[in-house]
Amino acid sequence: MQHVREQLAGALSDPGPDAATLVAATTSGQVSATEVVQRSLDRIVELDPLVNAFSIVLAEEALTRAAELDAGLRDGLPAGPLHGVPVAVKEEIDVAGCVTTFGGRGNSTPAPRDSEVVRRLREAGAVVVGKTRMPEFGQWPFTESVDGGLTRNPWDTERTPGGSSGGSAVAVATGMVPIGLGGDGGGSIRIPAACCGIFGLKPTRGRVTADPMAHLWWALGTTGPLSRTVRDSALVYDVIRGNVSTDRFTCPEPATTFAQAADAVPGRLRVGWWTAPATRGLRPDPQHVRAVEDTVAKLDSLGHDVVRTDPHHPDPTLAFVPQFFGGIRAEAGLVEHPDRLEPRTRAVIRLGAWARAPVVEGAMRAGQRLAARVNRVFEDVDVLLTPVLLSRPPGVGRLAGGGPLRAAARSMPMIAYTALWNVTGNPACSVPVGTGTEGLPLAVQLVGRFGDEPTLLSLAAQLTNAGD
């Protein structure tokens, strides 16, 4: 066990180059895409048995693609913005030739084509090296499933890495890949980013296509990357953002690229902060309160106007829950073998039998009304600052031996600060801000106006750079 801790500590302290650095190296000829991908695969062989981040590793396919990229560069073909960058993809996202398992056993036929975001990543020169673990249908903020077992936090393997994009977060934190693709329907990018000490931005609703689906959990879900740096996240979003004709939700393009925003120093911003969760009766861990307060002091020192605010946010539960049930039912209705779904998932489907189309549409309208009310706070501030999590990352096995009601109760401290922004559709990100007393990462959440990821990226980059 001591050897495992030392091995993972070494990986966390030296995760290797970020995506931006790799692109500079592969496009200048300092290193080949094949060498970069081979190093990623070697690291997966070394570390994944300790943390269980990957469900499948596509070694042969990845090396073949890397060799094609190298040959193209020698032949004078233009290099894409992610040339030779190894990428891991969450199980719920289609990769041609791989079964889209949604974290379970309900499907058995490989996807006939890439999802649009994966197609765009490949076109930009990224190399898909494998797919990553998630709880079945991404229902819970813990990366645990009957089929995939327990995914472990590399900072402490007896703790959860969060979820549902926990496999991607662990793969990035340990340097197995610089980029992991995830999804966020209630905090599933931000929660594992916070647990694993990396950066994760949930974009504005409609910013990224849901292809091949028309939507992800109706108005709640969206796809996006997890990364170690803000700039890497921005680079990936500049590749994958944009819509296709089948998307139910769309978002106007911003005036600047995300990479430009991440490189820009923000002007003087008005930042409102608070630490009380939207769900009444819950109290945050004192370490998370201190992390917010320390960030307030840093923002003040950087010249921003920081004020404590009391937004009296309404509880999002009535808008969130019908869409949650409706989303699970919709995805479960698409699998080939519903009899193979986990007993807990089948219980969720039965519990949510009432969440049919009229109810879900009503919940989305309720979410729009809630969003209009919540977003009034942005008349007075440019960015909001809150904790990401209510509690410290709990032990692994949170879903063992219990049904959906117990799982929901155990999930509440994880989503208390995140789910609101899925209901409203605002962009929100988890920014690492050091470690706590037990050696686990600390993080804060930044929330922006609808469509204003550039301000969040600029401020998050300033915060993380100021901590160097």
Sign of CA dihedral 231, 227, 278, 365: positive
Q: Which of 40, 165, 188, 411 is catalytic?
A: 188
User: What is the enclosing helix (H) or strand (E) of 264?
Assistant: none
Contacts of 78 (CB under 8 A, 6+ apart): none
User: What is the enclosing helix (H) or strand (E) of 285?
Assistant: none
What DSSP designation does 274 have?
-
What DSSP designation does 211 have?
T
C-alpha span between 307 and 310 (Å, rounded): 10
8 Å CB contact between 141 and 186: yes
Catalytic annotation present for 90: yes
How far is CA 467 from each of CA 49, 182, 295, 439, 464, rounded to the nearest angstrom? Answer: 32, 26, 10, 17, 5
Q: Which of 40, 55, 164, 430 is catalytic?
A: 164
Burial of 400 (0-12, 13-18, 19+ CB in 10 A): exposed
User: What is the enclosing helix (H) or strand (E) of 151?
Assistant: none
C-alpha span between 109 and 324 (Å, rounded): 26
Cβ neighbours around 361 below 10 Å, total: 15
What DSSP designation does 138 have?
G
Residue 179, classed as helix, strand or coil, is strand
Residue with tokens 């094609």: 68
What DSSP designation does 165 have?
S
Contacts of 458 (CB under 8 A, 6+ apart): 261, 262, 264, 265, 266
Q: Which amino acid is at 413?
A: P
Q: Both ends of the chain: CA-CA distance in Å?
A: 31
C-alpha span between 463 and 306 (Å, rounded): 14
C-alpha span between 219 and 202 (Å, rounded): 13
C-alpha span between 465 and 445 (Å, rounded): 16
Q: Which of 32, 90, 202, 233 is catalytic?
A: 90
What DSSP designation does 84 have?
T
Catalytic annotation present for 164: yes
C-alpha span between 295 and 444 (Å, rounded): 8
**Residues with catalytic roles:** 90, 164, 188
